[in-house]
């Protein structure tokens, strides 16, 4: 039995759901402790209520939902209160789940690890700390955490969690190197990347119903799909669109939500940028078709966050067999993946003129675009596929459950 706690994010929710359901199919029992679904609008989804405790079964996974403060506000303290309240109530959610064989908690939010640590002490079971973003490093880099006392508090919490966790799972080699520098023993870590499912994100025709619905037929579509957050370098994308506004054949399509969405929309309107199409998050059923509608996809991260975050959107783009234009510092994990896979271009953050130039030059590289897309998908299938990563995750959990490394059929994951 494994228990696991999860952050509230669209991509994270998909990955955790896939991991949990796949573990069930492999013969394990899985429980997830989470909150009422409300992302990205900060409003509880229709059909759910923000109750103290509720239990449901989804595809063989037991889902235990606990209360948390939910608000549409994107301000730092409101979000911190949301994460803090869920981190606290997840403790009694974990108690309600019963004793597992192994416990997994996700970071961020960092305080969630405290509940997982207490539960692991009570149940006397191994606890895996799964690092999706390096906190507080990522929050400091994004500029949302500035107060020295707050920063010191979370740095001490981070140090405590690394010391107390039985095992730490990180999603990239750069994360592993960072944790080694923070004195986390190498023997205590596994590198298991996030993934995309090449069976779900298939290679589909570019001219499709998504293009028709949004008047994109015969356009060269430059797509950004994901969180429009503080580290997204969306200003570079906006300025590149300004540079290319006379190229009526090039259309920027920005799909997503986030703290910078409103300001971006205001800029697009005030500058009358007809070459930018803004869309909300799309239903999962059209996700693969949406990605296929792109000629080239943007994956962006500013310089400050490049060593503490890795947008999972890069793997979905690779699965769709579309080339990537990465706005990221050379040597960052994003840049390394694109270089190793041979699936696109890399432009440093803060270089919108260069970004516009690369986009314009890519328009006439039809065959090269196809080859880059194919290279990206082949690399994903080899190193970042759902099956490859879930198998690695299962081996890690079973190893922690059973020191003799025997196969166990009693794993439960709680997220």
Q: Do 82 and 42 have their domain in common?
A: yes
Percent pLDDT > 90 in the chain is 76
Are 24 and 138 found together in one domain? yes
The pLDDT assigned to 40 comes to: 67
Number of domains forming the structure of the chain:
2
Answer whether residue 184 is part of any domain: yes
Domain CATH number, residue 263: 3.40.50.2000
Q: What is the pLDDT of residues 295-308, one digit of tens each?
A: 999 999 998 888 88
Tens of pLDDT, residues 23-51:
999 999 999 999 988 876 778 888 888 99
Residue 203 DSSP code: -
Residues 188 and 220 in one domain: no
- DSSP character string of 213-234: HTT-TT-EEEEEES---TTS-H
Average pLDDT rounded to a whole number, residues 1-20: 65
Residue 133 lies in a domain: yes
Give the whole-angstrom CA distance, residue 192 versus residue 130.
10
Over 70: is that where the pLDDT of 140 sits?
yes
Q: Is the pLDDT of residue 398 over 60?
A: yes
Q: Give per-residue pLDDT as tens, 159-204.
A: 999 999 999 999 999 999 999 999 999 999 999 999 999 999 999 9
Instruction: Give the pLDDT score at 402.
Output: 66
Residue 135 belongs to domain spanning: 2-195+385-401
Q: Taking the CB of residue 162, how many other CB atoms lie within 10 A of it? A: 19
> 278 and 394: one domain?
no
Distance CA 345, CA 338 (A): 7
User: What span, in angstroms and rounded, lies between the C-alpha atoms of 105 and 114?
Assistant: 9
With respect to residue 125, please indicate whether it lies within any of the assigned structural domains.
Answer: yes
Q: Quick one: 231 and 344 in the same domain? A: yes
Alpha-carbon distance values, 125 to 11, 97, 167, 371 (Å): 28, 14, 12, 48
For the entire predicted model, the pTM comes to: 0.88
pLDDT at 78: 79
Shared domain for 165 and 288, answered yes or no, is no
Is residue 327 a part of any domain in this protein? yes
Residue 7 has pLDDT above 60, yes or no: no
**pLDDT for the residue 37:** 85
Helices 148-164, 112-123: axis angle to 10 degrees equals 30
Are 395 and 340 found together in one domain? no
> Is the pLDDT score of 411 beyond 60?
no
Per-residue pLDDT tens over the stretch 82-125: 888 999 999 999 999 999 999 999 998 999 999 999 999 999 99
Same domain, 220 and 251: yes
Query: Do 249 and 172 belong together in one domain?
Result: no
**Does 377 share its domain with 389?**
no
* Shared-domain flag, residues 11 and 61: yes
Instruction: Tell whether the model's pLDDT for residue 413 goes beyond 50.
Output: no
- 80 domain-assigned: yes
Q: Are residues 255 and 366 in the same domain?
A: yes
């Amino acid at each position: 039995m494994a228990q696991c706690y999860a952050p509230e994010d669209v991509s994270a929710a998909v990955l955790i759901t896939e991991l949990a359901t796949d573990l069930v199919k492999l013969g394990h029992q899985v429980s997830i402790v989470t909150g009422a679904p409300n992302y990205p609008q900060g409003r509880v989804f229709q059909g759910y209520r923000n109750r103290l405790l509720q239990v449901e079964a989804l595809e063989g996974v037991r889902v235990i939902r606990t209360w948390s403060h939910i608000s549409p506000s994107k301000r730092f303290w409101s979000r911190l209160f949301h994460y803090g309240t869920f981190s606290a109530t997840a403790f009694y959610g974990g108690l309600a789940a019963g004793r597992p064989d192994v416990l997994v908690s996700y970071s961020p939010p960092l305080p969630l690890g405290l509940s997982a640590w207490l539960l692991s002490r009570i149940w006397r079971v191994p606890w895996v700390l799964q690092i999706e973003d390096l906190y507080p490093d990522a929050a400091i880099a994004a500029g949302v955490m500035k107060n020295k006392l707050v920063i010191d508090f979370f740095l001490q919490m981070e140090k405590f969690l690394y010391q107390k966790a039985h095992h730490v799972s990180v999603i990239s080699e750069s994360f592993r190197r960072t944790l080694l520098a923070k004195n986390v023993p190498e023997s205590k870590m596994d590198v298991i990347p996030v993934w995309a499912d090449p069976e779900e994100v298939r290679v589909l025709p570019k001219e499709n119903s998504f293009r028709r619905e949004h008047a994109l037929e015969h356009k060269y579509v430059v797509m950004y799909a994901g969180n429009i957050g503080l580290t997204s370098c969306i200003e570079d994308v906006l300025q590149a669109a300004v540079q290319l506004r006379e190229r009526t054949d090039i259309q920027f399509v920005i799909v997503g939500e986030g703290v910078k969405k409103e300001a971006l929309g205001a800029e697009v309107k005030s500058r009358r940028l007809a070459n930018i199409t803004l869309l909300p998050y799309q239903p999962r059923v059209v996700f693969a078709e949406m990605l296929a509608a792109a000629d080239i996809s943007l994956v962006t991260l500013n310089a400050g966050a490049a060593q503490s975050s890795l947008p999972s959107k890069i793997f979905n783009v690779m699965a769709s067999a579309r080339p990537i234009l990465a706005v990221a510092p050379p040597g960052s994990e994003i840049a390394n993946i694109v270089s190793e896979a041979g699936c696109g271009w890399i432009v440093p953050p803060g270089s919108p003129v260069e970004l516009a130039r690369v986009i314009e030059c890519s328009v006439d590289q039809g065959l090269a675009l196809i080859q880059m897309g194919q290279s990206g998908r082949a690399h994903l299938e080899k190193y970042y596929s759902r099956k490859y990563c879930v198998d690695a995750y299962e081996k890690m959990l079973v190893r922690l459950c059973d020191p003799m490394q025997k196969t166990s059929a009693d794993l439960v994951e709680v997220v």
